[in-house]
Structure 1
Amino acid sequence: MNERKRKVASIALRLFVEKGFQQTSIQEIIDKANISKGTFYNYFSSKNDCLAEILEDIRYEASQQRVAMQIDKDPTDRDVLIEQITILMKLNKENNLQLLFENILSTNQEDLKQLVMLHRVIEMEWLSNRLVEVIGEDIREYASEATVLYFGMMHYMIFTLKVTNSPYVLHDLIETLLSFIELIIGHMKKTGSTFLNNFAIETLKTNVHRNAITKSELLDMAYQLKEQYDFNEEQQDLFDVILSELERERIRKIVVQKLLKPFLDLFKGADNTSQIQLFTNAVWNYLKMV
């Protein structure tokens, strides 16, 4: 997002948290942000679209920070994993996302519930894959269930600590719960027992990602950008590298992920920033799915 759009999104998020998503009108966002209705609809097609972009922007920022933290580090480094887990939790806390999610899940709007589910499942997939990287390939069949258990423990520990006004250090809490998960995974390996089989996990992922973008759709977006806009030399160079990677039979995800933020930064304040944002978000989401 460009800075003006991000400011509007920030105001909208604050209203969603304070008043509730359904109770907040587009007019209230417009009034608080001191913008015209046309400006709002230039940024977002609807209130739901506004929320979707807010969640995507937060997740994207967390993803970029986590990727940056892992560069040139040993992928099996447990301390790096703890710091990466901390990043999204801090962003969620800063933006009061848990309160917003609870508000949304109490509504009857399935498309909004889908947004929350997508946000959560992507985080589950990320942690599951990182647990495999850190602990070893031999725990892959147990990683998804271990991830569900981790988030369940974390959710109720945070809830209990909060309502009892108990002090805690987030890093220490994550480290402790991760230690518990490692013990649980050891038990699962020893007994070969799980409650969630691979079919259940894949069903969850399929239901959440059923509207995920395809590679051909992603390439169509790239070709349209290429036809519609005249990039400067620096923008064109990065775009060409990203496009060439997307056209490969096997996309080198780590290469593309490192390029997306620098590419987006080159368009700050430009007229086509929103289109570039949509493209980079689509690329990032696609790479999460493959």
Structure 2
Amino acid sequence: MNKRKRHVADVALKLFVEKGIQQTSIQEIIELANISKGTFYNYFSSKNDCIAEILEGLRYDASQLRMEMQMGRDPNDRQIFIEQISILMKLNEERNLHAVFEAIMSSNEPEHKKLVLHHRFHEMEWLSHRFVDLYGEDIREYALECAVLFFGMMQYVMFTVRISHMPHSVERIVNVLLSYIELIYPSMIDGDKSLINQSSLHFLRSNIDRRDMTLKSILETAAYLEKQDGFTEEQQDLFSAIVSELKQERIRKCVIQPLLKPLQLAFSQTPLEMQVANFTNMVWYFLKGI
């Protein structure tokens, strides 16, 4: 983002925080930024586009700072990890973005919500990968759940800190919460217990981007699965029944929905478990919309 475009985005963010997104008009952004209407629309096609640029700018700033922190240093260094997590929290606090996020998620604006979900999804994905860097391959299957737990704890700790006006250090909060994750994840591995698996990452991505929920994309996923070897008779019968029904001119939800859970269970603890879970999640979500 060039400097002038960044300036306009910063002005828009200031107004969004002060007045709220819905209460801020494009004309107010234009006047405060001291630009023409043509200049605004040269930069942004809409207010949604402006919000998208603000979030993209935040991710870009955090990404650049994270790379600078890691350059020439050990990626497994816990202190670097703490600094990398802290930088986005600091940027959020400095720009008062938490207030904007809360307003968006409690609004009736699906496009705005999707932008925030994209932002949060990217952060969860980044944190999941960094957990694997730091703690090794053993945590990979549980990395997404650890990321969800970490961000959930962080959100409510920061909320409590803000409303109580407690003095705080972001690095200390991240350090302590990270130590909690370090106590939790060994028991997840040893007991083979998790609430969220990696297939949920695919479903989150699909949930955020509705284009992945078309019947065409579901059937393409099914075609890929059909090419895999080793289906048992039970697995093949369940899978074929669902796919056959999806190809009908009139798709009967009452036929498909009772088969989804048995299909997942039939592939439990097999090499295709995650792919089949992703497929059934996509089908379930698609059926909700018809």
Give per-residue Cα distances to partners, 1:23-75, cap 9 Å, x unaligned. Answer: 11001111111111111111111111011111101111110110121112111
For residues 137-286 of structure 1, what are the structure 2 equivalents within 5 Å? 137-209=137-209
Preserved CA contact (<8 Å) 2:144 2:197:
no
Structure 1 partner of 2:223: none
Structure 2 partner of 1:235: none
Report how far residue 125 of structure 1 moved. 0.4
CA distance in 1, matches of 2:3, 2:136: 42
Structure 2 partner of 1:248: none
CA distance in 1, matches of 2:154, 2:90: 13
TM-score, scaled to structure 2? 0.71
Find the residue that maps to 2:202 and give its secondary structure.
helix
Q: Structure 1 residues 176, 111: closer, same or farther in 2, change over 3 A?
A: same
Report how far residue 205 of structure 1 moved. 2.1
Report how far residue 207 of structure 1 moved. 2.0
Preserved CA contact (<8 Å) 2:142 2:194:
yes
CA distance in 1, matches of 2:149, 2:82: 16
Give per-residue Cα distances to partners, 1:237-268, cap 9 Å, x unaligned. Answer: xxxxxxxxxxxxxxxxxxxxxxxxxxxxxxxx
CA distance in 2, matches of 1:143, 1:210: 25
Find the residue that maps to 1:122 and give its secondary structure.
helix
Structure 1 partner of 2:126: 126
The alignment yields a C-alpha RMSD, in angstroms, of: 1.4
Structure 1 partner of 2:106: 106
Find the residue that maps to 2:73 and give its secondary structure.
coil
Structure 2 partner of 1:23: 23
CA distance in 2, matches of 1:40, 1:152: 36
CA distance in 2, matches of 1:175, 1:211: 38
CA distance in 2, matches of 1:61, 1:186: 33
Report how far residue 198 of structure 1 moved. 2.8
CA distance in 2, matches of 1:210, 1:57: 24
Report how far residue 209 of structure 1 moved. 4.5
Find the residue that maps to 1:151 and give its secondary structure.
helix
Give per-residue Cα distances to partners, 1:195-251, cap 9 Å, x unaligned. Answer: 113333321122224569xxxxxxxxxxxxxxxxxxxxxxxxxxxxxxxxxxxxxxx
Provide the aligned length of Structure 1 versus Structure 2. 212
CA distance in 1, matches of 2:18, 2:148: 29
Q: Which structure's CA Rg is the greater one?
A: 2
Higher relative contact order (CA 8 A, sep 6+): 1
Q: Structure 1 residues 211, 118: closer, same or farther in 2, change over 3 A?
A: farther
Structure 2 partner of 1:72: 72
Give the letter for the 2:177 counterpart: L
CA distance in 2, matches of 1:40, 1:165: 37
Give per-residue Cα distances to partners, 1:103-133, cap 9 Å, x unaligned. Answer: 1112222111000000001000001100110
* Structure 1 unmatched runs, 5+: 213-290
What's the % identity of the aligned pairs? 57
Structure 2 partner of 1:8: 8
Find the residue that maps to 2:117 and give its secondary structure.
helix
TM-score, scaled to structure 1? 0.71
Preserved CA contact (<8 Å) 2:142 2:198:
no
Report how far residue 169 of structure 1 moved. 1.4
Report how far residue 170 of structure 1 moved. 1.2
